Amino acid sequence: MTATDDLAPFLDILAARIRRQMEARREDDRVAVERLELQAALRRFGAAGPSVADAARWDDPTRLAAAERQRLSDRIDRENRRQRRFSRTRDPRYDINRHIVVTRLKRWLGGKAAWVRPPAEVGAAGTRDQRRGQRRARRPQTVERRRPKTTSDGIAGSG
């Protein structure tokens, strides 16, 4: 046995551990970015004060002050109606990204959906890693080539 044969299982374990750590860091980064997006969206619609950071940190709209939550809800409802009107009339001021954020904020403030999405399950459909580990279909080694059609006199042609 060579020294590399002895190291192979150790290297496999080490590679798996590194992969798990990288996936955990990516997940932590994703959650942090989503919390910052929530905080920015709340501030864009007029929320202010320390309760905004607290609500974003805990992904909980009830941590906002009641008056603040009501004011935000009113502004978001107005913006949602405006974006729906722009969408229906095909107004050039319609912004689909803004409409998505407004809809998510409305659902979040109503307590119907969390802003920070749970981590995708491994192998779940819709994840960008769903094809990881899959191999492309192999082409057969022997490929029959089609022969061109020939005419009755043996010349290749159209029929």
Could you tell me the CA-to-CA distances from 78 to 71, 74, 75 in Å, in that order?
11, 6, 5
Rounded to the nearest 5 percent, the helix, strand and coil shares of the chain are 60, 0, 40
pLDDT value of position 122: 43
**Residue 7, pLDDT score:** 87
Task: Give the model's pLDDT for residue 87.
Answer: 96
Q: How far apart are CA 60 and CA 115, in angstroms?
A: 9
Whole-model pTM above 0.85?
no
Does residue 52 belong to any structural domain of this protein? yes
Look at the chain and report how many structural domains it folds into: 1
Domain coverage including residue 38: 31-109
**49-52 contacts, C-beta under 8 A, 24 or more apart:** none
Q: What is the pLDDT of residue 110?
A: 92
Residue stretches of the chain with pLDDT short of 50:
122-123
The rounded radius of gyration (Å) of the Cα atoms in the chain is 28
- Evaluate whether residue 101 is within a structural domain: yes
CB atoms within 10 A of CB 52: 20
Give the pLDDT score at 33.
94
| 4 belongs to a structural domain | no
pLDDT number for residue 158: 55
Q: What pLDDT score does 109 carry?
A: 94
